[in-house]
Structure 1
Amino acid sequence: MCGITGLFELRERRPINRALLEAMNQTQFHRGPDEGGVHIEPGVGLAHRRLSIIDLSSGQQPLFNEDESVVVTYNGEIYNFPELTQELQAAGHRFRTHCDTEVIVHAWEEWGEACVERFRGMFAFGLWDRNRQTLFLARDRLGIKPLYYGLLPDGQLLFASELKALMAHPGLPRDLDPRAIEDYFAYGYVPEPRSIFRAVHKLPPAHVLTLRHGQRSLPAPRAYWDVPFAALPTLDEATAAEELVTRLREAVRVRQIAEVPLGAFLSGGVDSSAVVAMMAGLSPDPVRTCSIGFADSAYDESRYAQQVAERYHTDHDRQQVDIDDFALLDRLGELYDEPFADSSALPTYRVCELARRKVVVALSGDGGDEHLAGYRRYRHHLAEERLRRPIPLGLRRPVFGTLAKLYPKADWAPRVFRAKATFQALARDSVEGYFQGVAILRDDLRAKLFSPAFRRELQGYQAVDLLREHAARAPTTDPLSLVQYLDIKTYLPGDILTKVDRASMAHALEVRVPILDHPLVEWISGLPPDLKRRGGEGKYLLKKAMEPYLSHELLYRRKKGFSVPVAEWFRGPLQARLREQVLGQRIADADLFDRDSLEQLIDQHVSGARDHSPALWSLLMFDGFLQRLETSPAPAA
């Protein structure tokens, strides 16, 4: 796993500033502490930080083809590189190394832009072809690896694995994007393709961007893949469960190729336990596993991890951490560069820190909730959909919208209609209904929280518009599949994978994600929805498939999640800090918020009248971002 950086002159071939490129590259030293490399020629510069995993002696980057006309800087792992190497050698290509990086340059020569369709793995790369005068940027199908890019006013394009590398460029405008701020306070992260800065974008998952010298403007990225949700031929439950195990085992197998110590996260949840069970069946040696535990049993799941470790005789390492672990609060702004409000980033950082003591590569269970419908919010959404679907939206919206305004409590109605929230839910369409279920600050609260000046700057944009754009392109109309698709496009890359990438790379740890193996993802997407969620049981088929491998108690217990007691912190040890930061000068100077609403939010939470912890945490993290921006001014040219 590595960090990549690049500079490209879009309009004319001006010389590249080597010192600047090296400085940008050095900001990502943590992503690749083993080696660094730079390649510069007229109008283009590529840089790389390497964490050595495969072919330790000869995989240095940037890496070239035979005549050095094609060069790549690459972050990721292509798991089918042995098969592609054989195919490309048969086509006449000569290889100098045994690493997956070299496959990229030869695949480009052989298949051009379609090369990405042949890759099985996680990747983000920048490739320069001198003969075609083309820079090619690409990101993997699910967005496991990050890629930021931006075009400066003078025509220079920057790209990198992390935003901090772009921020090292003195010419990068740092104007905040109002739409990104609206998105952040709705979702808790800034979803693709936006970044917190107007001038910077994230290349979306499963997209490529092709650039050539002489272009006057930035072309739009092109999609090369999507989750198909194409119905499979009819399978009975037992056959589907058996095939799921076979496919998961294969996805795990190809991710065990490494020339460095390899292990797995073992949280005690269904997904990570399933991955460890598959690993144990594929390795003659004990699997190295790690987990963290908390003294407070309300947040601790480590006994389930211990159960799996004992069953499969893993080399298990458990560390108990303090649930009141505040030391990392200031570190989060450095890790994520943008505001990031998932509080589980704290324990994720600690488990990556623990894993790196024993391994350089760790397999994780991420992706199971999105693809196999594990989230409890899916159950709530489907319940609302059953109420909405019989009544046309044109009737529901005015009738139930009016009832929601007039009747804060409807004791006269049947039980299902007694809550104001129920009337509001019935007045919404499907996408808006799901959005309100995932938003950390709902529309009414954001409208109240934002200053009038900032609301005018949004020009009518609302965060739900992003979900509507994805829904319009969705290959499915099934209620469950649709919201899974929305999460795959937003929450999975924007929150889950971002959290793990930054936390792991802060410790030079590579994390591989078998459940996001794209052939497995395609197959799962085609399963009937009732094999993913049946009744109130999420991940139904996975649990059935794992019954021979994991205990009934572990499979069917209520999920706790990787959480910390933020609500209690804000009423106790973090109350003073919360008031100081959220009501402080930085937030006031940003001119984004209504101060009276901020004070009310804090007072209601501290008194116990309401739980505003997600909103308050997002504000605390936003202030942390502003502080980092304040203390790291743009470097001098």
Structure 2
Amino acid sequence: MSGIAGLWRLDGRPGEPAEFDGMLARLAHRGPDGTGAWREGPVALGHGMLHTTPESLREQQPLVGTRGDLVLVADARIDNRAELCSLLPAPSDATDAELILAAYERWGEHCPEHLLGDFAFAIWDGRTQRLFCARDHFGVKPLYYHHRPSRLFAFASEIKGLLALDDIPRRLNETRIAAYLVPLFEDKEVTFYEEILRLPPAHRLTVNRDGARTERYWALDPGHEIRLGSDKAYAEAFRELFTDAVRCRLRSAFPVGSMLSGGLDSSSIVCVARELLAQGGCPRPHTFSAVFDDVPECDERRYIETVLSGGGVEPHLIRGDKVNPVERLEQDLVQQDEPFYAPNLFLHWALYREAWHAHVRVLLDGLDGDTTVSHGLGYLAELAQKGRWLRLGREVLGLSHHLRRSPSVVLRSYVLRPLAPDAVRLLWRTLRRHGNAQPASGTLVDPSLARRSGVESRARTEQAAQRAAL
């Protein structure tokens, strides 16, 4: 989690050192191991270092190429190092930043297509007078930017870094606010601030004095299928990929940790990580869990302890029921820069603080395994579309018992509503709103804001796309 920032005065005016220093100061928490800056005329690049991997201990950024005409700043962990070292070629102990810069020298704007890992980086190319930026396939590393043609281009790992510049407006984006309240997630670029955008996952951005161009360099192919001979073969292939994914993220010069909620995601990660670290003769991984002794219906201690009983870890438990959810709300909002969809974020921050106190700098966690490995609630609509009525009935009854809601409510919410034609859904919403001033689409959006932002039509388009994907 290093921090990067940069600006280019497109009008040719030299940048003021104080304004760029202000950008880096806003990102200081991302770079506790030192900051660096490079300036040349109207261009400035900066980096805040957080050492994690063994190679990062020798890393110096901004990194200037051997000819002096390429300059890189990167927040990155590159996983296909052996492949890159053989293709470029590069020494096996090259830093991740050196590999990225060498990849750009070899493949130019196509270099992100050859990288595997988590990364956000920017390269100033003095030969062509352009700035090239890229973000990893799933958008793990953040990158925000502001572009005012012929005047200014600026980027940073966090929005607060951009807001350090007086040139950048501080106007709320009403369209994003309305989408947040619906909620809508289809726009991967927009933020809560007008004229501040995020570079979407799997995209590259090229900027020169004539303008800026974004392009997608990778997309998941939903139609691609892997055909294997048996369930056992699928399980073995998944285990191999999963184990390799965990192994890539264990490359650390510091203690490694993992969240452990007791769920399938984090439990699987912990079990694989401790086995790999033991095989390599490395220190035990730390685990971080929240328990709820005073709220037993929320407590998953027994699942956590099942994993811990296998040994090979250094466990840390915090009392989640003793953490005040509003005590650090202001700090959390400052840290996030925007409203968020995580009412339990206060628990995560408490666990992160515990990890920092344990000197852990690589912290693993499971994310969205329910919809990747098992299935989400959309599975019910899939069963209905395929006519698997007996299985659908069993799933509805099971979910009804688990959620403590009637089977009819489950069926209506997760089967009938998603599959209903647009005309039926529109009629139903009209009847529900008839005679009163309910917010648009039954959401928290004020009707006048809904009209100005067009969120209702966007919501219908998004819902139609989701149904078509079932």
Report the TM range for the smaller structure's normalisation: 0.7 to 0.9
1:397-412 matches, cutoff 5 A: none
Q: CA separation of 1:114/1:154 partners in 2, compared to 1, >3 Å: closer, same or farther?
A: closer
SS of residue in 2 equivalent to 1:187:
coil
CA distance in 2, matches of 1:83, 1:57: 22
Name the CA shift for 1:466/1:164 in 2 (closer, same or farther; >3 Å): farther
Q: Secondary structure at the match of 1:311?
A: coil
What value does the CA root-mean-square deviation take over the aligned residues? 3.2
Name the structure 1 match of 2:192: 196
* Partner secondary structure for residue 309 of structure 2: helix
SS class of match (1:298):
helix
Q: Cα distance, 1:118 vs. partner?
A: 1.2
CA positional deviation for 1:154: 5.8
Secondary structure, counterpart of 1:164 in structure 2: helix
Match of residue 449 from structure 2: 454
Corresponding position of 1:333: 333
Q: What's the offset of the Cα at 1:369?
A: 2.6
> In the alignment, which residue of structure 2 is the partner of 1:37?
36
Report which structure shows greater RCO (CA 8 Å, sep ≥6).
Answer: 1
Secondary structure, counterpart of 1:316 in structure 2: strand
Report the AA paired with residue 197 of structure 2: H
Q: 1:31 to 1:444 in 2, by over 3 A?
A: same
Aligned match of 2:379: 379
Kindly report which structure 2 residues correspond to 1:146-225, keeping only aligned pairs within 5 A, or say none.
Answer: 146-152=142-148, 155-187=151-183, 191-212=187-208, 214-215=209-210, 217-219=211-213, 221-225=214-218
Is 1:364 equivalent to 2:365 in the alignment? Answer: yes
Q: Is the 8 A contact 1:189 1:339 kept in 2?
A: no
**1:267 aligns to what SS in structure 2?**
coil
CA displacement at 1:137 relative to structure 2:
0.8
Q: Are the aligned partners of 2:144 and 2:156 in contact in 1 as well (CA < 8 Å)? A: yes
Residues 1:342 and 1:222: Cα distance change in structure 2 (over 3 Å): same
Aligned length: 433
Residues 21 and 37 of structure 1: is their aligned pair in 2 closer, same or farther, counting only changes over 3 Å? same
Tell whether 2:286 aligns with 1:291. Answer: no
CA contact (8 A) 1:138 1:207 kept: yes
Q: Which amino acid in the other structure matches residue 226 of structure 1?
A: A
C-alpha deviation, 1:188, in angstroms: 7.9
8 Å contact from structure 2 (residues 381, 414) kept in 1: no
Q: What is the match of residue 270 of structure 2?
A: 276
| 1:252 and 1:278 in contact (8 A); partners too | yes
Provide the C-alpha distance between the structure 2 equivalents of 1:466 and 1:347, rounded to a whole number of angstroms: 35
Amino acid at match of 1:173: P
Segments of 5+ residues of structure 1 without an aligned counterpart are 390-413, 480-637
**Aligned ranges for residues 416-455 of structure 1 at < 5 Å?**
424-428=417-421, 443-446=440-443, 449-455=444-450
Percent of aligned pairs with the same residue?
29
State yes or no: 1:255 paired with 2:249.
yes
Name the structure 2 match of 1:24. Answer: 23
Query: For residues 515-526 of structure 1, what are the structure 2 equivalents within 5 Å?
Result: none
Instruction: State the one-letter code of the partner of 1:71.
Output: V
Which position in structure 2 is the counterpart of 1:124? 120
In the TM superposition, what is the alpha-carbon distance from 1:326 to its structure 2 partner? 2.3
* Structure 1 pair 26–324 and aligned structure 2 pair: CA distance change class (3 A): closer
How much does 1:131 deviate? 0.8
* 1:289–1:442 Cα change, 3 Å: farther
TM superposition shift of 1:189: 7.4
CA contact (8 A) 1:188 1:341 kept: no
8 Å contact 1:267–1:291 — kept in the other structure?
yes
Say if 2:319 is the partner of 1:320. Answer: yes
Deviations 1:225-280 (A, max 9, x none): 11123011243111100111111111111221111221211111111111111112
TM-score (norm 1): 0.62
Q: Which AA in structure 2 matches 1:428? A: P
**Which residue identity lines up with residue 320 of structure 1 in the other structure?**
R
Q: Secondary structure at the match of 2:262?
A: coil
Deviations 1:295-332 (CA, angstroms, capped at 9, x unpaired): 21222223312221221331111121315532122222
> In the aligned structure 1, how far is the partner of 2:132 from the partner of 2:343?
35
Give structure 2 stretches of 5+ with no counterpart: 390-406, 430-437
| Cα distance change, pair 415–261 in 1 and its aligned pair in 2 (3 A) | closer
